[in-house]
Amino acid sequence: MNNADGRFRTIAAVLILLTRKNTNGDTEYLLQKRQNTGFADGMWDFSASGHVEKNEPMTKTVCREAKEEIGIDVNPKNIEFMGLLHSFGDGEPRFLGCFKITDYSGEIKISEPEKVSELKWFNEDELPEDMIDSRKVALDRFKNDGLFYQEFGW
């Protein structure tokens, strides 16, 4: 995508992952099943996601999208940066900032039922087979390496 000045512009988006500890002390991830979005419909994704708007920092996008998609309020100081995916797979390169949230307020719910068919907690070691590949890579990198940068789909 080129701007009026001829410079290339890359799409920026956020991937939001809610995590918790279950009664056994194991880490669980809240995942959403996509539908009617035109991208990876029928597959499991992070808890919420969305495009960064003009003049909006990624942390503000995380707060906005968490409220819009799953009905929760997030304090920006409770957002943990996980890493960055530089993705290419649908003809458009994207920067996908991955963020983890463990502390929020409100009750989790599907706020956009036209785009999300299901929300479900999964043990970090028992992720669904039908999860978006780039998200599996991001989770694996974060779990094993901590903060990450990953190119995907080039």
SS3 state of residue 135: helix
Average pLDDT over residues 94-115: 96
Residue 64 identity (one-letter amino acid): R
pLDDT value, residue 2: 64
**Whether the Cβ atoms of residue 95 and residue 12 lie closer than 8 Å to each other:** yes
Which structural domain range is residue 104 located in?
11-152
How many domains does the structure of the chain reveal?
Answer: 1
Q: How far is CA 21 from CA 48, 50, 133, 141, in A?
A: 19, 25, 24, 20
pLDDT in tens, 23-57: 999 999 999 999 999 889 999 999 999 999 999 99
User: CA-to-CA distance for 113 and 14, rounded, in angstroms?
Assistant: 20
Q: Is residue 60 part of a domain?
A: yes
Question: What CATH number should be reported for the domain holding residue 144?
Answer: 3.90.79.10
Q: How confident is the model at residue 3 (pLDDT cuts 50, 70, 90)?
A: low
pLDDT in tens, 51-100: 999 999 999 999 999 999 999 999 999 999 999 999 987 778 999 999 99
Residue 83 identity (one-letter amino acid): G
Q: Is residue 35 part of a domain?
A: yes
